[in-house]
């Protein structure tokens, strides 16, 4: 073992490598495997065909999220309601069948712990600092918010992990995104990560694992850290990481799957040793001043198409790179936006507050704080708030937030991926705009022809109230 200063990533990597081959690939041990209905059916089928079992069912947790409607799931007698869409129904039924067949822990659609896989993992204490975590889902990076090395994998790899609890990987390069200073009023973790991607670009993190460093992340809540790491992938990185600290330990302590008693103390001692050593170097470094970050929204069809809310829709000519110029032309055309338009003049007809990026209790609280005593604008046709899990839903209801939301004219839904990707009945109609707290604004992401503007929960709530993109600081603070 090397004694040179190491980064957080290097330490977790070193602790999990089983062997490194001559071609530079390493066999890496996987501590936790999260499974959802979309990317698992073929993997289970592969195991079945080969007559294999799941190597560590106890380290695997399955939960449905993508295909579930977010309307009521049970009838008055408590029976599960049928799912109208046949493909969704089939995918959900397949996971429900596969999990017990392979001895895997399974949270069902109507269990109170059900939720989006990336909300459930940390909430259950299944995602832990220093752990390697995988899921057949690109936003697995999210779990880096508790200091786990977490990344998305494809269905073939899902099968490999189910069968062996290992993966063949190449070591990534390291990238540091450092933000020190004081965030201004109305600037939330979502604004921080949108701003970062605006600076680094969608490809800025390619081939790298990002560690977010600086007092801004140290002072950030765990929910906020999960939001930031969730979008590491949108900046091209495989994983995002934030060093575990006392806040992380306090957040995880006592959660159902977290270690207990002496095991907890041993775990904390190890977790404390994981922070990047003084003098460790990164392959790439980006430094941003906290004071430069404003409440931020996207105007285009790439998460890097960001602007401070006080800005205007850019013109393709503003970009020096020829291919970006062309992309901006296409993007503005799809988005129905004219260069020079003030962002705060852009009307929205839909509002979506939810997704694995922004559906935790703090997100719902932030939205409710803006909505309290206000009402959605008449031109906002559809506005839904979708908690990330049944437990978030319960907590929000215990705090009376659901009532504030409903009184403001928004709908309060059951947990799931919902309008983040429209693999379920929650869709944004073609040609309409959505103020959305999700993580992707790709063409057609929220439904064919839908136009997405990414932003924080407070900003989405502000847009619901005024019916246009809005600087939340005008409403509160
Ligand atoms: C359906 C799933 C494979 C997909 C992903 O990998 O991320 C989805 O969660 C998404 O956000 O686009
Ligand atoms: S909420 Fe959206 S980004 Fe997250 S896992 Fe679901 S579909 Fe993917």
- What is the per-residue DSSP string for 308-345? ETTSB---GGG--SHHHHHHHHHHHHHHT--TT-BGGG
All CATH 3.40.1060.10 domain ranges of the chain, comma separated, are 171-245+270-292
Atom of ligand 2 nearest to the CA of 142: 4
pTM over 0.90? The answer is yes
Q: What is the distance in A from the centroid of ligand 2 to the CA of 151?
A: 14
* Residue 1 pLDDT > 60: no
**Are 7 and 280 contacting, i.e. CB atoms less than 8 angstroms apart?**
yes
- Ligand 1 pocket test: which of 40, 95, 116, 138 has the largest number of ligand atoms within 8 Å of its C-beta? 138
The conformation of residue 298, written as its DSSP 8-state character, comes to E
pLDDT > 70: what percent of the chain?
100
User: Backbone phi, then psi, for 61, in 5-degree steps?
Assistant: -135, 125
**What is the spatial distance between Cα 47 and Cα 156, in angstroms, rounded to a whole number?**
11
**What is the spatial distance between Cα 313 and Cα 469, in angstroms, rounded to a whole number?**
12
Q: Residues 341-368, buried b or exposed e (16+ Cβ, 10 A)?
A: eebbebebbbbbbbbbbbbbbbbbbbbb
Query: What sign results for the dihedral spanned by CA atoms 154, 160, 163, 167?
Result: negative
Q: What is the ipTM, given to two decimal places?
A: 0.99
Query: What sign results for the dihedral spanned by CA atoms 113, 85, 66, 299?
Result: negative
Structure tokens at 5: 């200063």
CATH 3.90.170.10 fits 8-169, yes or no: no
Q: Residue 25: which of 230, 194, 166 has the closest Cα?
A: 166
**What is the spatial distance between Cα 200 and Cα 194, in angstroms, rounded to a whole number?**
10
The conformation of residue 429, written as its DSSP 8-state character, comes to P
Per-residue pLDDT of 338-376, as tens digits, reads 999 999 999 999 999 999 999 999 999 999 999 999 999
What three-state secondary structure class fits 85? coil
Domain 297-474 carries which CATH code? 3.30.499.10
- Ligand 2 pocket test: which of 64, 118, 352 has the largest number of ligand atoms within 8 Å of its C-beta? 118
pLDDT band for position 3 (50/70/90)? confident
Q: Is the CB of 40 under 6 A from ligand 2?
A: no
Structure tokens at 83: 């799912």
Per-residue pLDDT of 368-419, as tens digits, reads 999 999 999 999 999 999 999 999 999 999 999 999 999 999 999 999 999 9
**What is the spatial distance between Cα 19 and Cα 28, in angstroms, rounded to a whole number?**
7
22 burial level (CB within 10 Å; 0-12, 13-18, 19+) = exposed
Query: What sign results for the dihedral spanned by CA atoms 119, 121, 122, 127?
Result: negative
CATH 3.40.1160.10 fits 171-245+270-292, yes or no: no
All CATH 3.30.499.10 domain ranges of the chain, comma separated, are 8-169, 297-474
What three-state secondary structure class fits 61? strand
Average pLDDT, the chain: 97
Q: Residues 411-440, buried b or exposed e (16+ Cβ, 10 A)?
A: ebbbbbbbbbbbbbbbbbbeebbbbbbbbb
Q: Is the CB of 355 under 6 A from ligand 2?
A: yes
What three-state secondary structure class fits 262? helix
* Residue 2 pLDDT > 60: no
Which residues, judged by CB distance below 6 Å to any ligand atom, belong to the binding site of ligand 1?
38-39, 66, 137-139, 152, 421
Q: Is the CB of 356 under 6 A from ligand 2?
A: yes
Q: Is the CB of 141 under 6 A from ligand 2?
A: no
């Amino acid at each position: 073992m090397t004694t040179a200063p190491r980064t957080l990533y290097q330490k977790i990597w070193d602790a999990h490598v089983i062997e490194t081959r001559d071609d530079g690939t390493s066999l890496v041990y996987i501590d936790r495997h999260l499974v959802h209905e979309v990317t698992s059916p073929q993997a289970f089928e592969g195991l079945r065909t080969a007559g294999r079992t799941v190597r560590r069912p106890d380290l695997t947790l399955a939960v449905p999220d993508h295909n579930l409607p977010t309307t009521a799931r049970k009838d008055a007698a408590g029976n599960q309601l049928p799912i109208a869409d046949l493909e969704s129904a089939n995918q959900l039924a397949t996971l429900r069948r596969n999990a017990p067949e392979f001895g895997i822990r399974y949270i069902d659609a109507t269990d109170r712990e059900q939720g989006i896989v990336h909300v459930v993992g940390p909430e259950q204490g299944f995602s832990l600092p220093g752990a390697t975590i995988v899921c057949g889902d690109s936003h697995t990076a999210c779990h880096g918010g508790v200091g786990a090395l977490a990344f998305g994998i494809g269905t073939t790899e899902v099968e490999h992990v189910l069968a062996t609890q290992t993966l063949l990987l190449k070591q990534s390069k390291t990238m540091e995104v450092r933000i020190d200073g004081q965030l201004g009023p109305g600037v939330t973790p979502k604004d921080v990560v949108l701003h970062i991607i605006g600076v680094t670009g969608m490809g800025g993190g390619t081939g790298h694992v990002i560690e977010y460093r600086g007092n801004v992340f140290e002072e950030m809540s765990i929910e906020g850290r999960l939001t930031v790491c969730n979008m590491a992938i949108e900046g091209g990185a495989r994983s995002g990481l934030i060093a575990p600290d006392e806040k992380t330990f306090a957040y995880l302590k006592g959660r159902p799957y977290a270690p207990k008693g002496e095991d907890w103390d041993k775990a904390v001692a190890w977790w404390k040793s994981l922070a990047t050593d003084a003098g460790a170097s990164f392959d790439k470094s980006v430094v941003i001043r906290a004071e430069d970050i404003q409440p931020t929204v996207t105007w285009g069809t790439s998460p890097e198409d960001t602007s401070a809310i006080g800005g205007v829709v850019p013109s393709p000519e503003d970009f020096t790179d020829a291919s970006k110029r062309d992309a901006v032309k296409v993007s503005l055309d799809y988005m129905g936006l004219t260069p020079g338009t003030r962002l705060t003049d852009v009307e929205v007809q839909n509002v979506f507050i939810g997704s694995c990026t922004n559906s935790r209790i703090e997100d719902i609280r932030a939205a409710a704080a803006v909505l309290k005593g206000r009402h959605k604008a008449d031109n906002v046709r559809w506005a839904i708030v979708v908690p990330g899990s049944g437990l978030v839903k319960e907590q929000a209801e215990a705090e009376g937030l659901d009532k504030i939301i409903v009184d403001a004219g928004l709908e309060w839904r059951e947990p799931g991926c919902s309008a983040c990707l429209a693999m379920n009945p929650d869709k944004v109609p073609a040609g309409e705009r959505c103020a959305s707290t999700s993580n992707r604004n790709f063409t057609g992401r929220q439904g064919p022809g839908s136009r997405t503007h990414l932003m924080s929960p407070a900003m989405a709530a502000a847009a619901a109230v005024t019916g246009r993109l809005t600087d939340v600081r005008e409403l509160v603070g």
